[in-house]
């Protein structure tokens, strides 16, 4: 029976390579946060995130990544019908909005009746003709740093008089936090395998 410890210890003969490897991994992560994210974000990662969005009853979800200059968040993936005119195009200043607040505080948020919150930046809603009713937003960490935010929302048409969707719960927040943690590990693992030449990303 196992004593609860993994029996393989780090190989100290590789210790001298660690600084260079960590440096290379951070370079790869920075590149992944920019135009190469689609190459790194594979079908398995997409399925994980889509399943989590569906599980919590979200209408759509987004991966926001911090740009290289650390001034804005850029949507690199969105599961909704407006993704083509939104992903890679919108620029969310890190000084505005609830998504940016997650970066500043490194804390998740779960809020219903979002449109009543003065911190909400309504620019995206105006562009897409929507009203965001409920939102979950959580930090996305990989390769040792906070790299962005995963958010999901419940929305309705901006001119609709229909009642709000049911909203999110704390259990829903925990589900998206778990999805973000798993996605961060998957991204880091894929980048590490690439940097070591085991499974190059093409």
pLDDT digits (tens, 9 = 90+) for 145-174: 999 999 999 999 888 888 899 999 999 999
Give the confidence band of 90 by pLDDT, cuts at 50, 70, 90. Answer: very high
pLDDT band, very low/low/confident/very high, at 141 (cuts 50, 70, 90) = very high
Domain 15-195 has CATH 3.30.450.40: yes
Supply the pLDDT for residue 5. Answer: 87
The answer on pLDDT for 176 being more than 80 is yes
Tell whether the model's pLDDT for residue 1 goes beyond 70.
no
93-129 pLDDT tens trace: 999 999 999 999 999 999 999 999 999 999 989 988 9
Tokens of 23: 């440096």
Q: How many residues does the chain have?
A: 202
pTM score over 0.85: yes
Q: What is the Cα–Cα distance from 59 to 84, expressed in whole angstroms?
A: 16
What's the sign of the alpha-carbon dihedral 109, 170, 141, 114?
negative
The answer on pLDDT for 34 being more than 90 is no
Alpha helix (H) residue ranges in the chain: 18-32, 37-40, 43-55, 97-105, 123-128, 170-195
Minimal CA–CA distance to 56: which of 149, 134, 143? 134
Structure tokens belonging to residue 36:
């190469």
pLDDT, position 158 = 81
User: pLDDT-based confidence at 135, cuts 50/70/90?
Assistant: very high
């Amino acid at each position: 029976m196992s004593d609860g410890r993994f029996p393989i210890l780090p190989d100290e003969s590789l210790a001298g390579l660690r600084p260079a490897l960590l440096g290379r991994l951070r370079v790869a992560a920075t590149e992944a946060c920019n135009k190469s994210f689609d190459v790194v974000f594979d079908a398995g990662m997409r399925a994980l995130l889509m399943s989590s969005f569906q599980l919590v009853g979200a209408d759509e979800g987004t991966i926001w990544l911090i740009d290289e200059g650390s001034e804005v968040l850029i949507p690199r993936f969105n599961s909704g019908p407006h993704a083509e005119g939104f992903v890679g195009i919108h620029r969310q200043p890190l000084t505005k909005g609830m998504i940016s607040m997650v970066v500043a505080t490194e804390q998740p948020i779960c809020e219903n009746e979002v449109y009543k919150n003065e911190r909400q930046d309504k620019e995206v809603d105006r562009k897409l003709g929507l009203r965001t009713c409920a939102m979950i937003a959580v930090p996305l960490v990989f390769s040792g740093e906070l790299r962005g935010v995963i958010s999901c929302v419940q929305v309705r048409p901006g001119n609709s008089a229909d009642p709000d969707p049911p909203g999110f719960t704390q259990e829903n927040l925990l589900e998206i936090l778990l999805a973000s943690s798993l996605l961060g590990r998957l991204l880091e693992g894929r980048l590490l395998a690439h940097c070591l030449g085991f499974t190059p990303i093409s």
